[in-house]
Structure 1
Amino acid sequence: MSLDCFRTLCHQLETTYGLKPTLNVGIEESVAMFLRICGHNEVQRDVGLRFGRNQETVKRKFYEVLRATELLACDYIKTPTRQELHRIPDRLMDGKYWPFFSGFVGAMDGVHVCVKVTPDLQGMYWSRHDRTSFNIMAICDLNMLFTYVWNGAPGSCHDTAVLTMAQNNDPEFPLPPEDKYYVVDSGYPNKQGFLAPYRSSRNMVVRYHMSLFENAPPPQNKQEFFNRWHASLRSIIERTFGVWKKKWRILCEFPRYNIEVQKRVVIATMGLHNFIRISNSIDDDFAETMGHSHIDNIDPKSDLNVIGTTTIADGDLMANLRERIADTLWANKHLLY
């Protein structure tokens, strides 16, 4: 992060979130040691040598800053209210996805984070990536801000299972209104509030991922055309995960902390991700992904919905909506491709 952003972070952790200096170690040094551990996945002994501190001091300061950044994350990862889910972000209205995806309120996906577990838990946390991990489900907006996190599901869980856990166990899960939806990949069901792509069938192969359209023939039918634009819109969550993991190497390298600490680190670093983004300071990782763009203001208009829905069965509702979007995109393909 930039120096100005670092100083602002230190000030907020001290004045708002209870981080205290000690006689020998100030706030900035404590935060710098914590960022070194999380950003570079350095062991505490090496951090102690770098800062001229013993390992016990580094360990104590790590947990003090972790506790403060967890509190910061509670404020910076904002779960949208029902009213906020009715609003339409300026970036959507000004971009190439309007008015086709006018019901979009976020992108949702799962990501795996390395974790160290005891031998008796390895089977539960062993993922398809041949390692023990969490399957973290997150939602983000078009500003690359995390708006919801379900943290700590075992790596062996399918994405759909993690979504079911979140909906069944979190009374504050932000389920969109009937005419809104999160864009999700084919690992999730196409049901109310979740717009998934078309899948291949026995009679027809339908491409989805953006890489399948690069240096290849253009979309051959409305299903592929929809999938191409859907994948492009949904890529915001993949890019957000990419920036988050690039900035915090503790998430994707050899895990040095136990399962409970790593779970806390996930939330703390997601909060810091949002903090850096909201600060609107120049940041190389965000600039590489989005350019030097700033956070959008939210347009309070809630009555714009060019492609509406009707009150019908859950699965049919989203299937019909997907068909209408696909028909509209296909009819305008000469303007879009």
Structure 2
Amino acid sequence: MVFERGLGWRNLENQIRNNPNHCMSMLRMHPETFQCLCTTLEQRYSLKSTDHISVVEMVAIFLVTCAQNDTQRYVGLSFGRSQETVYRKFHEVLNAVESLACQYLKTPTMASLQLYPRKLLENSNYWPFFSGFIGALDGTHVRVKVGGSDAVGYWDRHGQTSLNILGICDINMIFTYAWLGASGSTHDSLVLQYAIDGDPIFPKPPIGKYYLVDSGYANRRGFLAPYRGSSKENIRYHLSEFDDGPPRNKKELFNKWHASLRSVIERTFGVWKKKWRILDNLPRYDVKTQNRIVHATMVLHNFIRLHKIPDADFEDSDSSGQAQQRRRIEEEELSRLEEEEITMDGQYMNNVRDEIANMIWNEHL
């Protein structure tokens, strides 16, 4: 997004208020949502105007920085503010937006996890087969700037320093949980285990409920994975693989519908990263602050979604979008996953998967 330099906040504000499309492009949200965000941060989370700058301008500085990933210098020129002011106000709003998490990115209660989502009930492709579905989870990488010897642990398989973010979302593309801070070198399944073991508020599935996960995770109690192919048996999973022909057996039919429902997490990640370009290349702050920025953008994602004002990014993703193809699982990691799956919890979930596969197969005969 290119702004005409030197216009200052007043002209930018006029463009935001008078042109919803410009507001969406500049701030990644509808003007009504933007105003609601400003009001919420001011009235509930102690963000205050001063004699020199309003809450509305402060929030706009933060959103432009996150949405466009512009430098402090460029944002300062656009708003007619010094770099020092942009830096201070960015961090003040960052503090306030993070505080929103208690309202907009909170761990679901056990009671809420027992409920059946309306969107699930209304979709005959998934109901009643996946009646235990409470969400989908996956990991995604966000590039991070780490200097010196500390960078070693953050190198991912692409040769970049990154964070491996564990995200859980519900069927409505709302984040319900995030585990931040794992290094890019950490396997997705290990990040999940760190979250389960290390976070007392991790939303563990109630009895009979489960999250959908892909083949990079073990099929175990509370986490339903697809059938994994092997050298002896080729089993397709990703939706794009079925372009070559329909499912050939009950395992592939299960995998196709599993992939379709599970793709909600990939689409959620897609909308989130599309809106907030800062995630493509986080600023050169310390790792803790970079993590906080990731967290804040997830909160903003939910804030926008929960206000239910039409949003082209979400609407486009709702009508299309397929899960990204997972990288080949390394042999060492595959062995560890298979060991988990021969435990009692693994056998239990294998039985659940077989039961669902039989139901879907019989329904579509």
Instruction: Give TM-score, length-normalised by structure 2.
Output: 0.84
Which shifted more, 201-210 or 30-39?
201-210
Equivalent position of 2:59 in the other structure: 31
1:137 pairs with one of 156, 166, 177: 166
Shift of 1:257: 2.9
1:280 aligned partner, one-letter code: K
SS of match in other structure, 1:199: coil
SS of match in other structure, 2:202: coil
2:220 pairs with one of 191, 194, 208: 191
Q: What RMSD, in angstroms, separates the aligned Cα atoms of the two structures?
A: 1.2
Task: Kindly indicate whether the alpha-carbon contact (under 8 Å) linking 2:282 and 2:290 is maintained by their aligned counterparts in 1.
Answer: no
2:193 pairs with one of 161, 164, 178: 164
Equivalent position of 1:300 in the other structure: none
2:198 aligned partner, one-letter code: N
- Return 5+ residue gaps in structure 2 as ranges: 1-28, 320-342
Q: Distance in 2 between matches of 1:90 and 1:166?
A: 28
1:114 pairs with one of 132, 138, 143: 143
1:64 pairs with one of 62, 70, 92: 92
Equivalent position of 2:356 in the other structure: 325
CA deviations on 1:204-223 (whole Å, 9 max, x unpaired) are 01111111112x11111111
Structure ranking higher on relative contact order (CA contacts 8 Å, 6+ apart) = 1
Equivalent position of 1:309 in the other structure: none
Shift of 1:50: 0.2
Q: Distance in 1 between matches of 2:283 and 2:215?
A: 30
Equivalent position of 2:346 in the other structure: 315
Aligned pairs (5 A) from 1:208-287: 208-214=237-243, 216-253=244-281, 255-287=283-315
CA 1:262–1:254: 2 relative to 1, 3 Å: closer
CA deviations on 1:230-272 (whole Å, 9 max, x unpaired) are 0000000000000000000001136443311110011111011
Shift of 1:279: 0.7
Equivalent position of 2:34 in the other structure: 6
Task: Kindly indicate whether the alpha-carbon contact (under 8 Å) linking 1:191 and 1:317 is maintained by their aligned counterparts in 2.
Answer: yes
Q: Distance in 1 between matches of 2:158 and 2:67?
A: 22
Shift of 1:123: 1.6
Which shifted more, 198-207 or 226-235?
198-207
1:332 aligned partner, one-letter code: E
**Total equivalences in the alignment:** 313
SS of match in other structure, 1:105: strand
CA 1:197–1:11: 2 relative to 1, 3 Å: same
Shift of 1:122: 1.6
Q: Distance in 2 between matches of 1:30 and 1:227?
A: 47
SS of match in other structure, 2:100: helix
Q: Distance in 1 between matches of 2:119 and 2:310?
A: 19
More helix by share: 2
Task: Kindly indicate whether the alpha-carbon contact (under 8 Å) linking 1:74 and 1:271 is maintained by their aligned counterparts in 2.
Answer: no
Task: Kindly indicate whether the alpha-carbon contact (under 8 Å) linking 1:114 and 1:255 is maintained by their aligned counterparts in 2.
Answer: no
Equivalent position of 1:182 in the other structure: 211
1:331 aligned partner, one-letter code: N
Q: Distance in 2 between matches of 1:206 and 1:61?
A: 52
1:123 pairs with one of 149, 152, 156: 152
SS of match in other structure, 1:38: helix
Q: Distance in 2 between matches of 1:282 and 1:171?
A: 35
